[in-house]
Amino acid sequence: MASTARTKPEAGNSPVVSPRVAFQGEPGAFSEEGVLSAFASPQALAMPTWRAVFEAIHDGSVDAGVVPIERSAGGSVREIYDLLFKFDEIRIVGEVTVPVSLALLALPGQTLDDVVRVYSIAQALDQADEFLRSRPWQVMTSYNTAGAAKAIADGQERGAGAIASPRVAPIYGLEVLAADVQTGSANRTRFAVLARESLPAEMFRPNVVSGPMKTTLVWAVRNVPGSLYRCLGCFAERKINLSRLESRPSRGVRWEYVFWADMDADPDSPNCAAALAALLREAVMVRVAGVYHRAPEE
């Protein structure tokens, strides 16, 4: 079934005071930084999994959610696209980018020589690989950066360190043993703001609702030669840039795929509206997964 439903921030609505915004992880996680970067005065609510964030938005127990959708050093977070496809009433209504600054944290009084085990999520361990290879540490994965720090603090685990944001240290009573352990200084994570309905522009921080418009689409092609080529031609012929394009399994039919794209345009513009109309004629399913302002470039 074709769909062009859209959700984007709206100016002039009555603002929700201190909206409830879900994120995955523990207090101090990078996803919480995404919440604080996107909203002016949020109630940030920790959830155990990304699916739990979607479920909380779906059942109305929160006003919005913030999830990582792309890492500059690791690419797309594909599970998020799969959840967006499953929870088709949830839309992307904003985005922010958060710098990735990592530190090695441990219990007070510990030194680098005391540490024998280091915990964090796989992506953070990969980003700190050069630092971690400098010593014969046992490296172990956890479900969340802040969660790794919390587990060390809760268990008073001596000889253990966590790779996490330095802002996590005072939250759990830990100390920074080494700062800026990530490789390079350009790592960023792009977070998507999710909601079921339009959110007042006043709810967001000003930079979240000030950039050019961007649209995220998902569509399915006919299983015939040239179908994807003709779908992409709908945009190329109208000089509309697709800043991102990738495929994911449809989850409905074996060996068939849906295509996700970020379009540097607003569906209200004539060329974009014409491109979407042409895409609807060519594809077997089209859904607008979000219309929102592009995060400012750094």
Predicted local confidence at residue 249, as pLDDT: 87
Q: Averaged over 8-26, what is the pLDDT? A: 73
pLDDT digits (tens, 9 = 90+) for 37-50: 999 999 999 999 99
Checking if the pLDDT of 57 tops 60, the result is: yes
Predicted local confidence at residue 6, as pLDDT: 44
Predicted local confidence at residue 16, as pLDDT: 55
Checking if the pLDDT of 263 tops 70, the result is: yes
Helix (H, G, I), strand (E, B) or coil at 102: coil
Q: Averaged over 102-123, what is the pLDDT? A: 96
Q: Which of 7, 39, 85, 189 is catalytic?
A: 189
Predicted local confidence at residue 298, as pLDDT: 53
191 is a catalytic site residue: yes
Average pLDDT, the chain: 91
216 is a catalytic site residue: no
| CATH number corresponding to 103-178 | 3.40.190.10
Q: Which of 191, 204, 235, 259 is catalytic?
A: 191
290: its two tokens: 């979000």
Checking if the pLDDT of 5 tops 50, the result is: no
pLDDT above 90: percentage of residues in the chain? 81
Confidence of residue 1 (pLDDT cuts 50, 70, 90): very low
Q: Strand 20-24 to strand 64-71: parallel, antiparallel, or no bridges (unpaired)?
A: parallel
Report pTM: 0.89
What's the CATH fold of domain 20-99+188-293?
Alpha-Beta Plaits (3.30.70)
Confidence of residue 2 (pLDDT cuts 50, 70, 90): very low
Q: Hey, do 20-99+188-293 and 103-178 end up sharing a CATH topology, with the first three levels equal?
A: no
* Residue 242 CA to its chain's centroid (Å): 19
Checking if the pLDDT of 7 tops 70, the result is: no
Contact yes or no for 218/289 (Cβ under 8 A): yes
Confidence of residue 12 (pLDDT cuts 50, 70, 90): very low
Checking if the pLDDT of 56 tops 90, the result is: yes
Predicted local confidence at residue 223, as pLDDT: 81
Q: How far apart are CA 232 and CA 282, in angstroms?
A: 10
Predicted local confidence at residue 44, as pLDDT: 97
Please state the domain extents for the chain. Answer: 20-99+188-293, 103-178
Q: How far apart are CA 161 and CA 152, in angstroms?
A: 7
